Structure 1
Amino acid sequence: MPLNSIAWIGRLTGPKGEIAQRIVNEVAPRFPDIKFTIVGGPENEPMRKAAGNNVAFLGFVEDVNAVIESHDLVIGAGRVALEAMRKRVPVIAVGESQYIGPISEATINQAKASNFGDCAHPQPWTARQMADDISRIARGELSLPLAHYAEYLRDYAADEVYGKVLEVYRRARIDAYLGRYREIPVLTYHRILQTRPSDSKFNIYVTVDELDWQIKNLKQRGFEFITFNEIADGVQGKKPVILTFDDGYEDNYQNLLPLLKRHDAKAVIYALGDRAIRNNRWDMARGEPEAPLMNDEQLIACHRSGQVEVGSHGMSHRHLPQLTVDEALHEIQESKRSLENLLGAEIVSFAYPYGDCGARETEQVRQAGYLFGIATVSGPTKMADDLLRVRRITMFPNTKAAGFFKKTSGWYLRYCKLKGKDF
C-alpha cells in the first residue's frame, strides 16, 4: 500500500508524550519521504525543535476523524485506534504499557486485552520495532486485513457493550438478593394428573390433589412463590420457594394453571424450543406411555396468565454432554431464540435435559445469554454459589406430609449432602 502520511494522535505529556518524542526523534528520521503529523498537546517546544522537515505539529484539533481519514496510517492507542479501525485506516497500536504493532489477526486479541497497549503489564519496546513495521507496510510485505476491522470492532458496538454491562448489573443484583438465603427450595415437577396412572414407568407426576395440598401447605408456612425472572429483577421475598415443571406437558395447562390461579401462586415451566415436537418421545423410547405436550396457544396462555414464567429445556430434550460442541450450542441458543420469538419475552433460565451438564454446557448457557442454568442433583446447596448449576429437589407421587416438610425446610440440601444422599 502507498504510505505517504502517518499520524500520531495523543497527548504530548507523560508516557504518551514519551511515545511521541520517540516517533519524532527515532522513527520519522528513517522515513524522510513520509509526512508525520503529531496531533495533540499541550505545546512541546523542545519536541518541535527536534523535529525534522517531514514532521508537522497540529496541536489540539476539533475534528480528529478528519485527521484520521486524511492519513495512510495512524499510530495510537485506545479510542484513537478504534476510530481509525472504524474508518478502515491501518493502525499501529502502541500505548503507555505495550507496543502491539500493526493491527491484524495475529495482534487483535492482545490489542483488545490491553486497550491497544494502554492497560497491561509494562513491556519494553524499541523505536526500531515500530520503524521495521512501517517499512514492511510501505514495501507491501505486511498486508493488513482492513476488511476485517469491522468484525474486530464488534465487541465495542453499543448493543454489545450494553448487553455486557446489563449482565454485570443483573448478576450483581442477583448476588445481593440471594446472599440473604442459605437455601431456597427449588422443587422439580413434571406431569400434573387428575388420577394416578397404572402404567407409568418413571413416576414423574403428582396428582392435582397432591399439588393442591402442597401449594396450600407452602402458603400456610409463609412461603412466597417466586420465579427466576423475579430474582433477576430484584423482587423481594421473605421466604421464597420456586416451583419448576419440566418438559411442558399439556396437563400443565389443563391442571397446573388452574391451581396456580386459584392459589395466586407462580411457577416456571421448561418447554422445548422445537414446537413441532408434540409428545414425550424421549421417554416413550424407554417404555413410558405417551404424554402430549402443550401447543403454542396453550404455552402462550400460560405465559400471559401472569402465573407462569417459561424457561428453555433445549430444542429437543437431548443429552447435551453426548452432543458435539455445535450441536449442544444449537440446542441451547436456538431454543432461547425460538421461545423468545413465540412469547415476546426474555428467557432467563435453561433447564438441562436429564439434569445432565458439565463445564462445557454451563459455559454455553452463559454465552447464550441465560442468567440461570437449572440442574437437578448437581450444583452447590446455595444457589448464589453457582447460578449456572442451580440444584433442585425432585417431587414424586405419594410424598407424605413429613417428607414434604423436610424437602421444603430450607436445610434439606445441606442435610442430604451431609448424609451423602441423593436429592
Structure 2
Amino acid sequence: MNILMALSQLEVTGAEVYATTVGNALTERGHQIFYVSDTLTKPTLGPVFTLKFNKRSLLRRFWHVFYLIYLIKRHHIQLVHAHSRASGWSSYIACKLTGTPMITTVHGRQPVHASRKAFHALGARAVAVCEDIAKQIVDNLGVAPSIVQVLRNGVETDKFQPMPAPANPKPVIAIIGRLSGPKGELCYRLLDEVLDLDTYQVKVVSGSPLLARFLRFQDQVEFVGYVDDIPALMSQCDLVIGAGRVAVESLLCGRPVFAVGEAKAIGLVTEQNLAEALASNFGDIGPSDLVIDFAALQGQLVSALASKRVPETIRQRIQDEYGLPRIISGLESIYQDAVVETLRREMPIIMYHRFIEQDNEKGVHGTWLPIKMFEWHLRLMKWLGYETLTFGDLADKGFIHRLQYGKKYLMITADDGYQDNLTRMLPLLEKYGYKAVVYVVTGEQYNRWDVEHPSNPDAPVALMNGAQIKALAATGHVEIGGHTLTHSRLSKLSPEQQAYEIRENKRQLEALVGYPLLSFAYPYGDMNDSAREQAIQAGYRFAVATNSGPKAIHQDPYQIRRIAIFPRTDAFGLWRKIRGNYVFRK
C-alpha cells in the first residue's frame, strides 16, 4: 500500500519515533511509506515532506489541506495515518475531499472541548497506544467504541537486550524526555522537589533545547542532549525515570524503571503494578484531575534504587505486548479495516461448481454454468484488468497484498471437484493465464448429496478420481483445497464426525497433491463454532463460507465470504458481482 504518515512537531517526540519505526518496518514489508511533518529527526526509508502544521491560522490550515491533497494525488496515497491533532485535523479534511481512508494513532490524552467532541477528525479508526487513552476518548470525547482499538507502541525489541547492573560508586539516575510542555514541567519538578542532586548522579536526556529555567541545575545535573544509542546510555544507569517508550526500552534492557508521566506516578514498575503501568502508558495517561504527590516520590525513589534488575517475567510481557512484528501486523489489519469500510470495496471471491457444454447436462440445483459463458467471464475479467490470487498468494504475502496499488485482484473458486474442472475449466484458465482454487470431495465418486436430495433429486455427475486431482494440481493453475469426505452439512454432525470428515479429506488430498492444503470450504456454506474449530485444528489457515462472515475478508480467515455464480450470471451479471461493492449492496 501507499501510506502517508502525518505528524506535527517541532522536536523529537514519541510520536515521531513510533511513526518512523513502524513506517520503516512497513517499508521492509513492501509498502510505500511517505512522511509529512514540521520536522523529522529519525531516519526514514521513505521520502519526507515538510509542512508547518504548527502554524494554525485559518489561511495556513487551508494551505495544509491543499498540500495534503496534492501529496495524496501525486503519490497515489491509499491511506493517511495521522499522529497528532494538528496534522489529523488537516488530514481529515483532505481525506474527506479526496475519498481517501484515514486512521489516527492517539499518543496522549486529548483536550476536551465542544469543537473536539463535535469534530473528532480521527478517521475510520482511532488507535490508542494504551487502555487509558482508549477510555478517555470514548468517555470524554464521545468517540464510538467500535472505531477505537488499543495497539501499543511498536518497539524493535531485539535491539534492547538485558544488561548487568552497573557498579557505580554513586547511583546514576537518568530522566529521559522533552524539556518543553508538560513533560518539561515534570522534569523540572523532579529535579527541584524529588531528587537529591548531591546524593545521585543525574543525567537528563532530551532533544529539547535547554530552557532558561533549567540553567540553575547545570552544576549538579548532566544535560546529555539527544542520544542515538539509548541501550548504551541505559547500561550506565541504576534507575531510569520516564514514561511511554522510554519505560518500555529500559525494561527490555533489564534496567529498573521509575514510571512517572504527565498524569500519573506509577513508581517502580513491578509485577504487581505492571498491568496498571501498561494501561496508562507508564504514567502518561490518567484522570484529568489526578495530582502527582511529588513529596511522596522521594521515599519511593530510595527503595526503587535497591532494585538491581528487572524480573524476566516483566521483560517477556513487554516483548509480547510491544514486539514490532506483532504491532505491524496489527496495523496492517487496521489499515485494511479502514480501506475496505471507507471505500466499501472488497476483493471478490467468486464461486463456481461445474461447467456444461450441452443443455441435457443442466441440473436442478443451479450449480452449473455453460462453459461458453465461463469463457465470456474470463474475457471480461481480462478486459477489466483483473489478476487472480489464490490462498497460497495470501499466505505468502498477507491479506493486505490484495490492496496493492494499481492492481485489481479477484479469486476464482470451484466447489466439489467435478471432472469438468479438469477437462473444461482448466484449458480456459491456461488460455487466459488465470489461477483458481478447487475444493474437492474425496469420499464420493459422484454428487450423491444432490442425487439423493429428498425433494429435488438431481442426475449424477462424475467427480475427479485421484489421478485426475493430481493432474489438475500439477498444472500450476489450480490450488487444491479441502471440502470434506462426503459433502455433509457440518452443523448436523458431532464434533468427532466433523473432525473425521475434515481431517481425513485433508489427509487424502495432501497425499495426492504433495503439499499442505491451506484452505477449506464448508459444504453448503454450512458451519458452526465446532466446525470452525475443527478446520483450525486440522491445520487449515483459511476457510471459506458463502453468505456468512464479515464483509472484509481479513477480519475472519475462517469464515470468508464468497459470491455465488449461477446459471443466469451473464457477463453483465458478473461485472456487477466483481466490481468490489457487491457484498455491501446485497
Q: Please give the residue correspondences for 1:16-415 in structure 2 after superposition, counting only pairs within 5 Å.
A: 16-29=183-196, 35-40=201-206, 42-43=209-210, 46-47=213-214, 49=216, 56-60=221-225, 62=227, 63-105=229-271, 108=274, 111=277, 115-118=281-284, 122=288, 124=290, 125-127=292-294, 130-131=297-298, 133-134=300-301, 137=304, 144-168=310-334, 179=345, 186-190=349-353, 206=368, 210-218=369-377, 224=384, 226-227=387-388, 231-234=402-405, 236=407, 243-246=412-415, 252-253=421-422, 255-262=424-431, 264=432, 266=434, 268-269=436-437, 279=443, 301-302=474-475, 304-305=476-477, 308=478, 355-356=525-526, 374-378=544-548, 383=551, 388=556, 391-394=561-564, 399=567, 402=568, 408=574, 410=576
Which amino acid in structure 2 is aligned with residue 258 of structure 1? P
Q: Is the 8 A contact 1:102 1:144 kept in 2?
A: no
Q: Is the 8 A contact 2:263 2:283 kept in 1?
A: yes
Q: Is the 8 A contact 1:279 1:292 kept in 2?
A: no
Q: 1:188 to 1:2 in 2, by over 3 A?
A: closer
Helix, strand or coil at the partner of 2:254: coil
Question: For structure 2, which runs of at least 5 residues remain unmatched after alignment?
Answer: 1-163, 395-400, 454-459
Aligned equivalents of 2:274, 2:521: Cα separation in 1: 36
Helix, strand or coil at the partner of 2:547: coil
Question: Alpha-carbon deviation of 1:375?
Answer: 3.0
Which amino acid in structure 1 is aligned with residue 375 of structure 2? K
Q: Is the 8 A contact 1:8 1:36 kept in 2?
A: yes
Q: Is the 8 A contact 2:259 2:282 kept in 1?
A: yes
RMSD: 6.1
Q: Is the 8 A contact 1:97 1:121 kept in 2?
A: yes
Q: 1:358 to 1:105 in 2, by over 3 A?
A: farther
Which amino acid in structure 2 is aligned with residue 376 of structure 1? T
Q: Is the 8 A contact 2:490 2:528 kept in 1?
A: no
Q: 1:169 to 1:395 in 2, by over 3 A?
A: closer
Aligned equivalents of 1:241, 1:65: Cα separation in 2: 47
Q: 1:79 to 1:395 in 2, by over 3 A?
A: closer
Structure 2 length-normalised TM: 0.46
Which amino acid in structure 2 is aligned with residue 257 of structure 1? L
Aligned equivalents of 1:322, 1:16: Cα separation in 2: 61
**Worse-matched range after superposition: 104-113 or 15-24:** 104-113
Question: Alpha-carbon deviation of 1:76?
Answer: 1.0
Q: 1:293 to 1:114 in 2, by over 3 A?
A: farther
Structure 1 length-normalised TM: 0.59
Which amino acid in structure 2 is aligned with residue 38 of structure 1? V
Aligned equivalents of 2:494, 2:193: Cα separation in 1: 56
Aligned equivalents of 1:323, 1:32: Cα separation in 2: 74
Aligned equivalents of 2:273, 2:201: Cα separation in 1: 26
Q: Is the 8 A contact 2:371 2:425 kept in 1?
A: no
Q: Which residue of 1 aligns with 2:175?
A: 8
Q: 1:64 to 1:235 in 2, by over 3 A?
A: closer
Aligned equivalents of 2:405, 2:428: Cα separation in 1: 26
Question: Alpha-carbon deviation of 1:244?
Answer: 1.8
Helix, strand or coil at the partner of 2:576: coil
Question: Alpha-carbon deviation of 1:73?
Answer: 1.8
Question: Alpha-carbon deviation of 1:74?
Answer: 0.9
What is the CA deviation profile of residues 213-247 of structure 1, one whole-angstrom value per residue up to 9, with x for unaligned ones?
A: 3313435777756545684334555xx87532246
Question: For structure 1, which runs of at least 5 residues remain unmatched after alignment?
Answer: none
Q: Is the 8 A contact 1:193 1:205 kept in 2?
A: no
Among all aligned residue pairs of Structure 1 and Structure 2, give the percentage whose two residues are the same amino acid: 26
Aligned equivalents of 1:298, 1:252: Cα separation in 2: 11
Question: Alpha-carbon deviation of 1:157?
Answer: 4.0
Question: Alpha-carbon deviation of 1:10?
Answer: 2.1
Greater relative CO, 1 or 2 (CA 8 Å, sep 6+)? 1
Which amino acid in structure 2 is aligned with residue 6 of structure 1? I
Aligned equivalents of 1:248, 1:107: Cα separation in 2: 57
Q: Is the 8 A contact 2:355 2:371 kept in 1?
A: no
Aligned equivalents of 1:11, 1:241: Cα separation in 2: 49
Aligned equivalents of 1:172, 1:21: Cα separation in 2: 41
Q: Which residue of 1 aligns with 2:24?
A: none
Which amino acid in structure 1 is aligned with residue 319 of structure 2? L
**Worse-matched range after superposition: 168-177 or 80-89:** 168-177
Q: 1:154 to 1:246 in 2, by over 3 A?
A: farther
